[in-house]
Amino acid sequence: MRDPFMRASRRIIRRLGKPVVIITENDVRVDLKGIYDAPEDDTLVKGRKGGLVLKTRPATLTIYADEAPELTKECRIIIPHVNREYFPADSKNDGDGGIVIELAEALSEPSEVL
């Protein structure tokens, strides 16, 4: 791994990340570290013609690409330190060795996987 940005991404996720659990569609449990970011609140911003627009931002999880299983809509992502369960809504490679996953709220209470 010679790319300094990939090394930096790996180091950041290793140091700042907290344990997360991904359950694949085949019920395979994958334990890894990730950086969870949830919005504190929604914001009102000025829109067109003087109106106000409500802006929301989805929760995201950043994980290292080499450790990530294949993500599908049937996967479950459990964030133990906040006791939340999510589904991957969208994911994109950040180009520096990480994957940023936009998370969608699960409809039920978190599973007792831990």
If you count DSSP H runs as helices and E runs as strands, how many of each does the chain have, helices first? Answer: 1, 8
Question: What's the pLDDT band for 54 if we cut at 50, 70, 90?
Answer: low
pLDDT score for 49: 74
pTM of the model: 0.76
pLDDT score for 103: 92
The Cα 68–Cα 77 span in angstroms is 12
